[in-house]
Structure 1
């Protein structure tokens, strides 16, 4: 891999400032990497290298004149396909959606443009973002760079594959039940789901967040300054930040950290996953933290209630479609959604109420601990062609029990690599903090990255 692609955003910016590297030269390194790896991983949508070159040239002139726009000026960035960019269609990962150009940039796209980022592509996702998979009826099958026969996870599938493959330092995903953290865990990258409202999204929905997906914790932290600027289009948007996102130092001595190895329902964590998370806990303990075993915060009733609510809501979105358009939806998704037709309004409300129960159990746990660590994903890996780790539309959410509670409780959570399986696949550690303690989660993540040494070797494209 070109050594430039192993640098952090701050290191790249330092080279720009010293005029030892131009944004155009940096983009050319990214473009070469994409040419070598994209045919294999299929992570990108609307990839436009010509536009990227023009953006990089404009940034090069701004750096020469000392008139840069922001932290991301000249930095190549991708946005998940669900994040609207003006003039581009938003297919939502499905053939069933009519391709209508977006009227305006979503908040995240607007912030990136304001900062001078080089937005060179969107990244793939499954139909309606409803799968933890790279499988889509609209996009080519996205694959895991570590093993092309395996799944990158989802629904921010392309973003995770792009980050692991080295397509630049910053990729923005969205997360409603784990869609940033789950693929981050399966591809060995760092994924950060902030507190709700920290990064404004449009359209907003209960549990829906957006977050950076990067190779380094510091890159995610740096991106939070522009991404977290308030935007009126998200009614949950938090007030402007009054802190330095790059202040990542922390002393963990005396912190009480809960170790959760049982999610309470769904797929049990495999032995290799548990062993890697326990080893990670030992690193926190060696640094002076107090590790406390804790029980689950989600139950079967909560997960099933959420399933009913999501099915009913989604069926309401698509039941008015023509049969012809419905037939274009990925069959796995349509079969799952059809179950919503039999969910009464009362049962849908009861299902929604289970999100409140999750908030309660999460809140109660955090009266006893300062942070929680757990597996991100219960399983090491699964085939690229599968729609989920169970590949069963009757049991679609068995893999999200470690991640989804923190969406409903609106708490910040990250996934960071904590080792590899015997098969060579990455294993993710989830780190959760109290509501609004986004910087605290980033600090714990940075500390762990320092102790563990991070990922030393990244995947390379297959040789010709």
Structure 2
């Protein structure tokens, strides 16, 4: 295989090269570091490159493969982790210029620990927006992270760099985090696969019932491989679940006989553009042709449920802002400072009322989706937006996350999969399943991947012209 073919291949092809001795993890790391040098300047996906740490991991993996004793499917594979994932000796900045001098991490968070135990080669950390509170690739510290398919377009966020790196062929999978869609949204923008797992299935710190770490990749199989590694329990996350039974089955879940709901509209003023709905319709048609009982769902909400959820996010961001030394707060991105400012004035009773309203909305979502085996929806209501924009509504940078955010509140697993390229840009669909059905959601997503009407040829962002391909 050529260098480009190696790095753009599914991970299984690289493992076969390791088994045969045609390549070693050291060889593939060398190619990956060269690709970062060649492609990252066009997309600005990498927050930190740990060449020395990656070299040590690749050398150890090379010895294991030579002895015929790899630790598992990720052994020797280059991967990335998000800026917000602590790993020993690497910077943690949470996307924010105010954190530029925070000391490097002294511990491995659960995702980083599981990757190291599995022999993965963590080549570095990827960019994110301030506090992870923007669903776009814009940061006060890192600047603009761009979409490899068209560098004038947004990568999505908050796992912005993870999405841009993978679509650029940097790493075979990535760890992102997701509080309102932050692994699924970059997957939708960048043509990838991602899973927001059942809350607690992938341990993370600090423990949260709303935020999850989640795997991202170019193929469903690569996401499955990382999911199996990340999903072991960790005592540091008090919400982490007991181990699931065995590895995720790799056979696709055929939809014959399944009840599939199609959700094109959440409620008042929150639907999707025609180009996005056409991609969703293609996925629905594939499922129907596969024998599923497919039904279009009515809008879930009569009244807009988002303001209460947005206020909870504002309070979260305002608390983080106040934790920063006062003379450094002006370094936080102005869109985040302006948006979260009202959160500082919310009372405890205001916060409680909003939490109760969000819980009621979440129950509406859970009950509506429970009428089906699985539900598909858009990921993003439009075919992306410009690289410099903080979202579709600059005053509320998470407002376009409606299709994704509610699965965080219901704790349901939700995957994203690219299913079309209107105008040359990726458009993703979301696959939502019942709580704890992570493996089944991935297996149905794999079946849909096999029915995708487009064959993906991954872009070289250094060669992509802006404004369309």
TM class, shorter-length = over 0.9
Residues 332, 300 of structure 1: CA spacing in aligned structure 2 closer, same or farther, 3 A cutoff? farther
Distance (whole Å) between structure 2 residues aligned to residue 33 and residue 453 of structure 1: 29
Pairwise CA distance, 1:387:
1.1
Shift in CA distance, 124/93, structure 1 to aligned 2, threshold 3 Å: same
SS at match of 1:192: strand
Matches within 5 A, 1:358-369: 358-369=361-372
* Residues 1:348 and 2:351 aligned together: yes
Structure 1 segment 9-408 matched on structure 2, within 5 A: 9-97=11-99, 98-265=101-268, 267-298=270-301, 300-319=303-322, 321-390=324-393, 392-393=394-395, 395-408=396-409
Residue 401 of structure 1 aligns to a residue in which SS?
A: helix
Conserved in 2, the CA contact under 8 Å of 1:417 and 1:455?
Answer: no
- Determine helix, strand or coil for the equivalent of 2:14: helix
For 1:429, what is the secondary structure of its paired residue?
Answer: strand
1:460 Cα deviation from its structure 2 partner? 1.4
CA distance in 2, matches of 1:265, 1:330: 30
Structure 1 unmatched ranges of 5 or more? none
- Number of residue pairs matched by the alignment: 461
> TM-score normalised to the size of structure 1?
0.95
Q: CA deviation at 1:139?
A: 1.1
1:430 equivalent in structure 2: 430
Q: 1:320 to 1:225 in 2, by over 3 A?
A: closer
Query: Which range moves more in the overlay, 94-103 or 294-303?
Result: 294-303
Deviations 1:92-125 (A, max 9, x none): 1001224122221000000000011101110000
Q: Which residue of 2 aligns with 1:442?
A: 442
User: Could you state the TM-score of these two structures normalised by the residue count of structure 2?
Assistant: 0.94
Gaps of 5+ in 2: 465-469
SS at match of 1:291: strand
Aligned-pair CA distance for 1:155: 0.1
> Which whole-Å CA distance do the structure 2 matches of 1:174 and 1:108 have between them?
10
**Residue 467 (structure 2) aligns with:** none
Give the Cα–Cα distance (whole angstroms) in 1 for the partners of residues 187 and 268 of structure 2: 22
Cα distance, 1:218 vs. partner?
0.5
Deviation of 1:244 after TM superposition, in Å, equals: 2.7
SS at match of 2:151: coil
Cα distance in 1 between the residues matched to 2:254 and 2:48? 44
Given candidates 2, 5, 24, the residue that maps to 1:3 is 5
Judge conservation of contact 1:297–1:358 (CA < 8 Å) in 2: no
